A = this chain, B = another copy of it.
Amino acid sequence: MRQSKLFTRTYKEAPKDESSYNAQTLMRAGFIDKLAAGVYTFLPLGLRVHNKICKIIREEMDAIGGQELLMPALTPKEVWETTDRWAHFDALFKLTGGDDKEYALGATHEEIVTPTVAKQVLSYKDLSLSVYQIQTKFRNEKRAKAGLMRGREFSMKDMYSFHPNEESLNEYYKIVQKAYFKIFERLGLIDQTYLTYASGGAFSKYSHEFQTLSEAGEDTIHICQQCKIAINQEIIEESKGCPHCASTDLQAQKAIEVGNIFKLGTKFSAPFNFKYRDAEGNERPVIMGCYGMGPSRVMGTIVELAHDERGIIWPEAIAPFQVYLLALNQDKEADKLYEALKTAGVEVLYNDLDLGMGEKMADADLIGCPYRILISPKSLAAGGAEIKRRNSTESVIVDLKKVVDYLKK
């Protein structure tokens, strides 16, 4: 894409009304715009990144048999009363319609998915199954100061699984755990992300969070130095050492919760009276699990982790474009290379703006595409285009005809 066709611009200064690094930088670079505290617009660059994160998550959820659906955000009071959460779920945004009907904005969807799936499941033959959605969620947060990491409106992948018995849930729970680590690997977060024990509720002793180390994190986790799992702050007091290996050698670190998985048991199937008939014809309760991961929070987390003082350093898998192309007095050569890259299917953002080289270089670093390609009299004299990776200080000169091959290898 030509940057002249992109309606957004970059800013030198950070916005004054935003305190988080991720939102400041994403706003400066033209990825997001702030509408209100914790409420952001995804501008074209930001939407591209967000969609790529969603695609990775979707592929891994599909790979473990998740069936995608899309539930409403406007949810009637009655379903929340059924589980006694209307009165007790503080973060619910509540509203009243013209016909005096009361609604909550979906902050999570157990209350919707349970009766929806219950209508479709009659017998053990229909189980187990899992469904998921990637959808906008709303939470009436008191504070919303962490940019994309804690929004009043944000995106969420929420998966729910339904099982005939506990063994089936336990098996699937492990499968989801693996799929989550696969996602964090693809997102470039695997090295900093810890499986973290958290409190479990009535059905299970523990639930699990996926916590990514970051000084910007709102959470503190305690990493077992022996087996490299972690324990969250909430249960550290009652935990006598690591729940996995019993070691007491734990180290506290700041972290961002990028996912969580939870064995729900019959917590939601019971109030909705969701039962199935087993092979002998007996009615039995359905056992549930739930699995959350927020694409917008993941995006904010990656910005917190992958940046330097000049801007963002996107991992290739989710970069808005793979290549940032710019030219010094060599627009003709740059135009030609731009077309060649597009034809070869390389995602390229071409800074064709009427700006000085310093400003173009600053844009390149701020926006943070993995490869910067510069064509200048100097690079041509040296033999072609100068290619530099965003996360490196080294550059190489590549013959203009070989740039596509270079990028594809």
Q: Bound complex: CA of A92 vs CA of B47, how far in Å? A: 26
Least CB separation from A101: chain B residue: B36
Q: Bound complex: CA of A40 vs CA of B42, how far in Å? A: 25
Closest 6 pairs between A and B when the two form their complex, measured CB to CB: A95-B95, A42-B70, A7-B129, A74-B153, A36-B76, A39-B72
Q: Bound complex: CA of A105 vs CA of B120, how far in Å? A: 31
- Residue-wise, chain A 1-18 has the 8 Å CB interface mask toward B (1 for contact) of 000011111000000000
Least CB separation from A11: chain B residue: B119
When A41-B112, A72-B40 are in contact, do A131 and B35 touch as well, CB less than 8 Å?
no
Cβ-defined partner of A93 (8 Å) among B40, B42, B97, B153: B97
Are A71 and B112 closer than 8 Å at their CB atoms? no
Complex contacts, A7 vs chain B, CB 8 Å: 67, 117, 120-121, 126, 129, 131
Most buried by B among A7, A73, A131: A7
Verify if A43 is at the interface (C-beta below 8 Å from B): yes
Q: Bound complex: CA of A98 vs CA of B105, how far in Å? A: 14
Q: Bound complex: CA of A28 vs CA of B43, how far in Å? A: 39
Verify if A383 is at the interface (C-beta below 8 Å from B): no
Q: Bound complex: CA of A47 vs CA of B40, how far in Å? A: 25
Which of chain A's residues 7-33 have a Cβ closer than 8 Å to chain B? Answer: 7-9, 30, 33
Complex contacts, A65 vs chain B, CB 8 Å: 5
Verify if A171 is at the interface (C-beta below 8 Å from B): no
Q: How far is the CB of A388 from chain B (nearest CB, A)?
A: 28
Verify if A351 is at the interface (C-beta below 8 Å from B): no
* 11 A-B contacts (beta carbon < 8 Å): A7-B117, A7-B129, A35-B116, A36-B72, A40-B72, A47-B70, A74-B138, A74-B153, A93-B95, A95-B95, A136-B136
Which chain A residues have a beta carbon within 8 Å of chain B's beta carbons?
5-9, 30, 33, 35-36, 39-44, 46-47, 50, 65, 67-76, 79, 90, 93-95, 97-99, 101, 103, 105, 112, 116-117, 119-121, 126, 129, 131, 136, 138, 140-142, 152-153
Least CB separation from A65: chain B residue: B5
Complex contacts, A36 vs chain B, CB 8 Å: 72, 74-76, 101, 103
What is the count of identical protomers in the complex? 2
Complex contacts, A74 vs chain B, CB 8 Å: 35-36, 39, 93, 105, 138, 152-153
Q: How far is the CB of A189 from chain B (nearest CB, A)?
A: 23
Least CB separation from A128: chain B residue: B7
Secondary structure of the A contact surface, majority rule: mixed
Are B68 and A44 closer than 8 Å at their CB atoms? yes
Q: Bound complex: CA of A136 vs CA of B9, how far in Å? A: 27
Complex contacts, A153 vs chain B, CB 8 Å: 72-74
Least CB separation from A119: chain B residue: B33
Are B98 and A142 closer than 8 Å at their CB atoms? yes
Least CB separation from A113: chain B residue: B41
Least CB separation from A39: chain B residue: B72
Given contacts A36-B101, A47-B70, A93-B95, 4 further A-B pairs with CB under 8 A are A36-B76, A73-B138, A74-B93, A98-B142
Least CB separation from A135: chain B residue: B136
When A65-B5, A72-B41 are in contact, do A142 and B95 touch as well, CB less than 8 Å?
no
Most buried by B among A36, A42, A117: A36
